[in-house]
Amino acid sequence: MKNTFGSALTVTLFGESHGSAIGVVLDGLAPGIEIDDALIRLRLEQRKPRKGTGTARREGDAYQILSGAYEGRTTGTPLCLVIYNENQKSGDYESLRTTPRPGHADLAAEEKYHGYQDMRGGGHFSGRLTAALVAAGALVEGALNQLGITVATHVLRMGSIRDDALCEENAAVLKEKPFPTISDTAAEAMQKFILAAGAEGDSVGGILESMIFGLPAGLGEPWFDSFESVLSHALFSIGGIKGVEFGAGFAIADMRGSEANDPFCFKDGRVMTETNNNGGINGGITNGMPVLFRCAVKPTPSIYKEQRTVDLCKKENTSMKIEGRHDPAIVHRAAPVVSAVSALAVADMLTVRYGTDALKVGLRK
Ligand SMILES: Cc1cc2nc3c(=O)[nH]c(=O)nc-3n(C[C@H](O)[C@H](O)[C@H](O)COP(=O)(O)O)c2cc1C
């Protein structure tokens, strides 16, 4: 029952949605990393529910670093970051002890923790915990940026609304700071799509697309700790992510070898590939091209429509109507979470390859 990710730079996530606080412990961080407070706040802001389409739960998300930092820089000892919960409303969730929500973790948690789990607001399984992940990821992202590595995630598709404005080819937009999770062109249509589902007591999902730029070639191991394995391990830790694909992804199955192979070429004295169907990874190891991947985010499981479930006490089938505060879509809110866990996974793999100090002094060639 371990809640820790990483080999050389580890992140442990703790807390419950309606407990006193959520937080992370980062261990294996290089000493001397400047804590970019503005970046952490920006990412936390991007994760917050939006007015209109978001849950009514409003949290300040002010973070505190309890250890592992001194005078604005990491010390290299375990860094504990907490965010205190302020806006709990627990009464809404008591009935979920006996009638688990379809699509959520209530039944699975009951089986694993034998009824001792904190059910309030989804407890340890709540999307609320992703705020702590985002803060930890942004802290590490600041260090990666110093090394010339950037991570960007945007909503690629919701229903039939596809947003190509922020795709890989559009390098000018990718340099924009802060990188928008939804482009201005798609925002209105996507918001309408979310609100229409919400008005019916339902929810919608979508696809996130991410790019990691500036990675050195040579990260990742050939088999079990391949770059894809470590990154998707981190990505699948996020509640609601049900699919991850790299490069051309599932579409590569329908290509011919002559199309799927990315031809090599020299550009500015560097070996590059002409296309990126393999997502910047060959043999489990980065090849120096941008790492390109997409995540399928499911519709929010807590919907207000009546649903079929079971009564665990009476041992009979029943139906339920969920109360509480939930977003009709979590796709856009999951975007900074995807970037955050990607930053943590990349930082871990850099630390494995170059040692703890790599994140600070940039030992990469
Ligand atoms: C940022 C974020 C916010 C979320 N908010 C909610 C929510 O308000 N209601 C809900 O039912 N699920 C929400 N989820 C999804 C659940 O956490 C997730 O579906 C649940 O833990 C079960 O995990 P699974 O979908 O991976 O099986 C959220 C997820 C994320 C990433």
DSSP for residue 254: G
DSSP for residue 34: B
**Spacing, Cα 25 to ligand 1 middle (Å):** 22
d(CA 347, CA 352): 9
**Spacing, Cα 239 to ligand 1 middle (Å):** 5
* Substitution site in 88, 126, 333 for ligand 1 pocket (most atoms within 8 Å of beta carbon): 126
pLDDT of residue 269: 93
What residue spans of the chain are helical by DSSP H?
A: 37-47, 106-113, 130-146, 171-174, 184-199, 227-236, 257-260, 331-354, 358-361
pLDDT of residue 326: 82
Q: Which of 9, 281, 23 is nearest to 143 (CA)?
A: 9
pLDDT of residue 195: 95
**Spacing, Cα 287 to ligand 1 middle (Å):** 34
Q: Which of 312, 249, 287 is nearest to 106 (CA)?
A: 312
**Spacing, Cα 249 to ligand 1 middle (Å):** 24
Q: Which atom of ligand 1 lies closest to the CA of 238?
A: 31
Q: How many residues does the chain have?
A: 365
Residues 6+ apart with CB under 8 A from 3: 12, 13, 14
Torsion sign across C-alpha atoms 53, 57, 60, 64: negative
**Spacing, Cα 300 to ligand 1 middle (Å):** 6
**Spacing, Cα 130 to ligand 1 middle (Å):** 9
Look at residue 231 and give its three-state secondary structure: helix
Q: Which of 5, 141, 34 is nearest to 361 (CA)?
A: 34
Q: Whose alpha carbon is nearest atom 6 of ligand 1?
A: 127
Q: Which helix (H) or strand (E) holds 158?
A: strand 150-158
For every one of its 365 residues, what pLDDT tens digit does the chain have, with 9 covering 90 and above?
689 999 999 999 999 999 999 999 999 999 999 999 999 999 999 998 876 566 655 678 899 999 999 999 999 999 999 999 987 666 656 677 889 999 999 999 999 999 999 988 889 999 999 999 999 999 999 999 999 999 999 999 999 999 987 766 555 555 556 677 888 888 999 999 999 999 999 999 999 999 999 999 999 999 999 999 999 999 999 999 999 999 999 999 999 999 999 999 999 999 999 999 999 999 999 999 999 999 999 999 999 999 999 999 999 999 999 877 788 999 999 999 999 999 999 999 999 999 999 898 644 44
Contact between 258 and 315 (Cβ < 8 Å) = no
Contact between 206 and 151 (Cβ < 8 Å) = no
Q: Tokens for 360, please give them.
A: 């600070």
d(CA 97, CA 121): 11
Domains, the chain, in order of start with CATH, read: 4-361 (3.60.150.10)
Q: Which residues line ligand 1 (CB under 6 A)?
A: 47, 55, 104-105, 125-127, 130, 238-240, 298, 300-302, 326-327, 330, 333-334, 337
Contact between 15 and 22 (Cβ < 8 Å) = yes
pLDDT of residue 23: 98
Q: Whose alpha carbon is nearest atom 19 of ligand 1?
A: 240
Q: Whose alpha carbon is nearest atom 11 of ligand 1?
A: 302
